[in-house]
């Protein structure tokens, strides 16, 4: 279990360089919850902007979630820009 995670991927779109940086931090729930409820929840940022993901409410590995967020962002860019998008090696 990792409490903090960061994942970065660099890419180019038609010659313009870009970078996707996701940071996830796990925080502990303060109030009493229901039985079998996870006591951790994730807070994520993508390129220094808050990011909402449905799995953040019950994630237990911040590094894995950061990788998933960056992968989702690259998939969105690939749909939007198609063959103009080039991702550098991870």
- Give yes or no for a contact between 40 and 29, defined as CB atoms under 8 angstroms apart: yes
> Using CA atoms, how far apart are residues 19 and 49, in angstroms rounded to an integer?
13
Q: Where are the domains of the chain?
A: 8-30+38-87
> Using CA atoms, how far apart are residues 82 and 79, in angstroms rounded to an integer?
6
pLDDT of residue 1: 83
| Cβ atoms < 10 Å from Cβ of 64 | 15
pLDDT of residue 38: 80
pLDDT of residue 27: 92
Q: What is the pLDDT of residues 24-77, one digit of tens each?
A: 999 988 887 777 778 888 999 999 999 999 989 888 899 999 999 999 999 999
β-partners of residue 41 are 27
- Give yes or no for a contact between 73 and 46, defined as CB atoms under 8 angstroms apart: yes
The whole-model pTM stands at 0.85
């Amino acid at each position: 279990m990792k409490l903090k995670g960061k994942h970065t991927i660099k890419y180019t779109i038609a010659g313009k360089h870009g970078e996707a940086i996701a940071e996830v931090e796990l925080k502990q729930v303060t109030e009493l919850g229901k039985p079998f409820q996870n006591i951790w929840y994730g807070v994520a940022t993508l390129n220094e902007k808050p990011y909402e993901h449905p799995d953040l409410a019950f994630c237990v590995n911040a590094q894995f979630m950061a990788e998933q967020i960056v992968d989702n962002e690259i998939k969105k860019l690939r749909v939007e820009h198609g063959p103009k998008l080039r991702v550098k090696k991870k």
